[in-house]
Amino acid sequence: DTGVSQDPRHKITKRGQNVTFRCDPISEHNRLYWYRQTLGQGPEFLTYFQNEAQLEKSRLLSDRFSAERPKGSFSTLEIQRTEQGDSAMYLCASSPSQSYEQYFGPGTRLTVT
Amino acid sequence: AQSVTQLDSQVPVFEEAPVELRCNYSSSVSVYLFWYVQYPNQGLQLLLKYLSGSTLVKGINGFEAEFNKSQTSFHLRKPSVHISDTAEYFCAVSDVGTDSWGKLQFGAGTQVVVTP
């Protein structure tokens, strides 16, 4: 069991650029969640998938954000035309079907300059 | 709608002393409750969870928490802390049985600083 992995761990980009993050969940975990954590705050829910279906998106997820999980395994989160306010830690978590227990990855820290 | 309030943003504590981190929640439906710990530059690790049954739940690293439904609280305790317990602690809730089950709502976190 290698746990949830995320890539990259750190990303520095200039305002206006597009970025994409990847999350690999624990094998056979059906649910995959994305959260965003800003400095001094708890994680905030962004979106989640049940297999390849995206079931809910937070109002925090503006039109510039898109997430996919094309084959029900890994997921990507893309941010287009990044803004300084997008600077945060992006956390991915997965859970087995019918379980409330989530396993978190190490996160991707995004800095928009 | 849910909300989670962690009443202390920072808790300084001496090594081997007890610590209590307070968490209150509000929700219109039944909830499950969780405590996570986050070490610097790392993801979140589950300390313990309350799903049902005994209101006193024990977790990893000597932590325990008590669910109090009437006071809508889920306070975390450890009788004797170590330097290695220095970290940020998050309380979280999840709706039970709704369309959004599984989605976590987190508190703002409590930074625990253990000094010798």
**pLDDT tens-digit map of B87-106:** 999 999 998 877 777 889 99
Give B17-73 pLDDT, tens digit per residue.
999 999 999 988 889 999 999 998 788 999 999 998 899 999 999 999 999 999 999
State pLDDT tens for residues A3-21: 999 999 999 999 999 999 9
Name the residue in chain B with its Cα closest to that of A94. Answer: B102
pLDDT above 70 (res B1) = no
Examine the pLDDT at B2 and tell me if it is beyond 90: no
Instruction: Name the nearest CA neighbour of A109 among B107, B39, B42, B87.
Output: B42
Tokens representing B35 are 């405590």
3-state DSSP helix/strand/coil % of chain A, to nearest 5 = 5, 50, 50
Number of A–B residue contacts, CB under 8 Å: 60
- Which of A21, A100, A111 is the mutation pick for testing B, counting most B CBs within 10 A? A100
pLDDT of residue A1: 56
- Please give the structure tokens belonging to residue B99: 């369309």
Nearest to B107 by CA among B18, B38, B17: B38
Gyration radius of chain B over CA positions = 14
For residue A72, the model assigns a pLDDT of 85
> Which DSSP string corresponds to B30-99?
-EEEEEEEE-TTS-EEEEEEE-SS-SEEE-GGG-EEEEETTTTEEEEEESS--GGG-EEEEEEEEESSST
Residue B42 contacts A, CB cutoff 8 Å: yes
Quote the longest CA-to-CA distance of chain B: 47
Which portions of chain A are predicted below pLDDT 50?
none
